[in-house]
Amino acid sequence: MFEEHDRQAGRDAESEVCATVNTLDMIDANSFRPGIPAAVRPALISPRMRDQLGDEAPWRRRLSGELVVLVAIKFAALALLWWLFFSPTHRTDVDPEAASRRLGVTDVRTPDLPGAAPVRAQGARRD
Amino acid sequence: MIDFGVVTLARAQFALTALYHFLFVPLTLGLSMILVIMEAVYVMTGGEIWKRMTQFWGVLFGINFAMGVATGITMEFQFGTNWAYYSHYVGDIFGTPLALEGLMAFFLESTMVGLFFFGWDRLSRVAHLIVTACVALGSSLSALWILVANAWMQYPVGAGFNPQTMRMELLSFKDVFFNPVAQAKFVHTVAAGYVVGSVFVLAISAWYLMRRRNVDVARRSMAVAASFGLACALSVVVLGDESGYVAGENQKMKVAAIEAEWHTQKPPAKFTLFGFPDLEKHVTRDELDVPWMLGLIATRSTDKPVLGINDLVAQNRVRIASGVEAYAALKALRASPGDAAPRARFAAHQRDLGYGLLLLRYVHDPAVATPRQIDDAAWSTVPNVLVLFWSFRMMVAIGFFLIALFATAFYFASRHRLREQRWFLRVAFWSLPLPWIAAELGWIVAEYGRQPWAIDGVLPTFLGASPVPASHVWLSLSGFVVFYSALAVVDVFLLVRTIRRGPDGLGFWPPHSSEPVAVPAGAAR
């Protein structure tokens, strides 16, 4: 039901799509394609884009700085989470003996208190 | 001793995070498939508008996808932090599909999502369509593995208990994967996700049509959502019926609780359409019944009974007595692993060990349990009838309303009369929250209906919790509430902003930003 309109709209959009693709290709050639040798990259950039970007464009330095800060924050948050929930002092180790005590099928009863280290059987796996 | 306060907190935390996560999952499932449909039309017709539609709905999909990932990962961590004994007891089986989900589905989905957004100008039309299809496939595979794991909690097959390692161990991966509950749950859940996605597209498109904005995009989007949504909503009913039959076979107590069927009826059992369950007197007042229906749904026959709660509790008393035997044998086996007598005794009663463990809520040693304690344990196997009864009926009512909504939308779309039906556009827009409510209610029916078990018939929920201090769980629970509230604000803000800007405001359609776009005075932007 929409074919005629679609065809017309497709023709109208064609020129803008081409322009977008060209712009993206120019930007990509300079910054995002590791496979292209640095020496060749300037040849792929239009003179106008080369003037705008330059060899050490400020936005690249700013982006690098932001990425470094973000990654550092991420590592700090992960370290905090690990310490809070998964560090040896906070996590709950469960092995067959601990499970046995939990179900009360082991005669030696150790209270399931927080931080109480379960008796580890020889060769028992950590879960 | 087990701190039941901590167990309740851990359960509340998991329920909160799961319910929250499940707001995003069905929309991811549904929108990804709708993107495939729209892009397939683009590839087949070459109509640029279909590409732009895919890109616009893709932005909303991306926001939702990011939220789904962020809220899903925390749930897996909880198995280690709050459910350490659960993880030990069943991790051998439960962990396998979860690992496969990460390796197979999530990696595929995540990689392809990147290509979906950044590959429009780098891939051919067909290649990009394949990428979009892979995103949808990844979402569905993700749902498949999660539901395989979840179905094993509902109906544990392909595994056995090892007294030496004190855990369930995987015996047959094939049985776990082809678990009938998993198959039924998967298709039902995925179809429900498609319905959520369709209602989302339908409602947002209706909003645009009401404001006479993005009319070309909205009309086409509504046509896709109406046809796809109608097919999926009908499928949800059929597949939900299959889910009911599978539950009738394997989780009789859940079915009895959903129907508030206190006493076993003479077959074929009637279905209670409406009523007021009385939890004290074990009756349902002011019932409105449909003859035969429950018998047909739960047994696919007219001569097989659907057991009532009282009879199931009586059966469970017997299983608890058998479980006490298994427990005593296990205790003897732990003391002297080489002894053949307790091994044989354990093998004879192993199937009911979980029922014996239910007594640990009331007594240190199940062997010394009183008849009263056994009776209490037997009645503890009945989930909350009131919650299940009403949740199920509300879910079904919403499901049938959505079928009517899609059918009406389909009728108007096929007659090109959507724009004139302002009453319908309003109904479609205000129906937006309904599929989410139905999906959450479905989750409550499935998971709350499994209680008191973490693994049905195998491990009571209270035995799976970690012995962590209540303050720790309070802390993480508070953290989740704060963090998730912030995420909700960000999510709603991003979605509303994107929708308000629309395909025109975002430059997707019409393609030339210099083109005049008809926006009536007062239209919200």
ipTM of this complex prediction, to 2 decimal places: 0.72
Could you tell me the two tokens for B427? 């109904």
Contacts of B398 (CB under 8 A, 6+ apart): B434, B435, B437, B438, B441
pLDDT at B249: 84
Do residue A1 and residue B416 have CB atoms under 8 angstroms apart? yes
Q: What is the per-residue pLDDT for B34?
A: 96
Query: Which residues does chain A have within 8 Å of residue B214's beta carbon, measured at their own beta carbons?
Result: none
**Closest residue, chain A, to B327 (C-alpha):** A105
Choose the closest CB to A114 out of B164, B331, B468.
B468
Nearest to A8 by CA among B290, B76, B512, B455: B512
Size of interface A-B (CB pairs under 8 A): 115
List, in sequence order, every beta strand (DSSP E) within A1-127: none
Angle, CA of B205, B211 and B215, to the nearest 5°: 50
Q: Is A98 on the interface with B (CB under 8 A)?
A: yes
Rounded Cα gap, residues B63 and B67, in angstroms: 7
CA B446, B451, B454, B458: dihedral to nearest 10 degrees? -110
How far does the CA of residue A51 sit from the closest CA of chain B (Å)?
24
- Answer yes or no: do A85 and B81 touch at CB < 8 A: yes
Cβ–Cβ contact B360 with A under 8 A: yes
8-state DSSP, B106: I
pLDDT at A53: 57
Q: Tokens 């803008």, residue? A: A16
**Gap between the Cα atoms of B367 and B405, Å rounded:** 57
Cis peptide before B510 (omega within 30 of 0): yes
B457: contact with A, CB 8 A cutoff: no
According to the 3-state scheme, what is the secondary structure of B123-161? CCHHHHHHHHHHHHHHHHHHHHHHHHHHHHHHCCCCEEE
Does the CA dihedral B495-B500-B504-B506 come out positive or negative?
negative
In A33-72, the residues whose Cβ lies within 8 Å of chain B are: none
User: Which pLDDT belongs to residue A14?
Assistant: 47
The first and second tokens of residue B316, run together, are: 């469970």
**CA-to-CA distance for B123 and B129, rounded, in angstroms?**
9
Which of B44, B56, B166 to mutate to probe the A interface, most A CBs <10 Å?
A: B166
Q: What is the mean pLDDT of residues A14-18?
A: 44
Q: Quick one: pLDDT at residue A107?
A: 60
Residue A59's CB is within 10 A of a number of other CB atoms, namely 10
Positions in chain B whose pLDDT score sits under 70: 1, 511-525
| Mean per-residue pLDDT, A31-53 | 50
Question: Cβ of A87 under 8 Å from any chain B Cβ?
Answer: no
Mean of per-residue pLDDT scores for chain A: 62
Asked if A12 and B46 come within 8 Å (Cβ–Cβ), the reply is no
Contact B253, B381 (CB under 8 A): yes
Long-range contacts of A30-38 (CB under 8 A, 24+ apart): A31/A60
Q: Please, are residues A99 and B89 in contact by the beta-carbon 8 Å criterion?
A: yes
Q: Taking CA atoms, what residue in A is nearest to B74?
A: A81
- Put simply, whether B158 touches A (Cβ < 8 Å) is no
Distance from CA of B169 to the nearest CA of A (A): 13
Q: Say yes or no for a CB contact (<8 Å) between B121 and A1.
A: no
| Euclidean distance between CA atoms B243 and B246, whole angstroms | 5
**Residue B338 pLDDT:** 82
Chain A residues in contact with B334 by the CB 8 A cut-off are 100, 105-106
Question: Any CB–CB contact under 8 A between B364 and chain A?
Answer: yes
Is the Cα dihedral B202, B205, B206, B209 positive or negative? negative
Q: Classify the C-alpha dihedral B128-B131-B136-B137 as positive or negative.
A: positive
- A96 contacts on B by Cβ (under 8 Å): 164-167
Interchain pair A104, B466: CB under 8 A: no
CA A78/CA A81 separation, integer angstroms: 5
**Does the pLDDT of residue A109 top 50, yes or no?**
no
pTM, two decimal places:
0.81
What's at B450, amino acid-wise?
A: R
Q: Are B202 and B426 in contact (CB under 8 A)?
A: no
Does any CB of chain B come closer than 8 Å to the CB of residue A74?
no
Q: What is the pLDDT of residue A56?
A: 60
Distance CA B27, CA A124 (A): 43
Please give the span between the terminal C-alpha atoms of chain A, in angstroms, as a whole number: 59
Greatest CA separation for chain B = 88
Which residues numbered 34-63 in B keep a CB inside 8 Å of some CB on A? 45-50, 52
CA–CA distances in Å: residue B407 to residues A86, A92, B230, B438: 52, 53, 6, 18
So what's the pLDDT on residue A51?
Answer: 59
Contacts of B463 in chain A (CB under 8 A): 102-103
**Chain B residue numbers touching A99 (CB-CB < 8 A):** 85, 88-89, 166-167
For residue B88, which residues of chain A lie inside 8 Å, CB to CB?
94-95, 98-99, 127
* Residue in chain A nearest B513 by alpha carbon: A16
Check CB contact under 8 Å for A6 and B165: no
Report the residue of A1, A103, A110, A119 to disrupt the B interface, i.e. the one with the largest count of B CBs within 10 Å.
A103
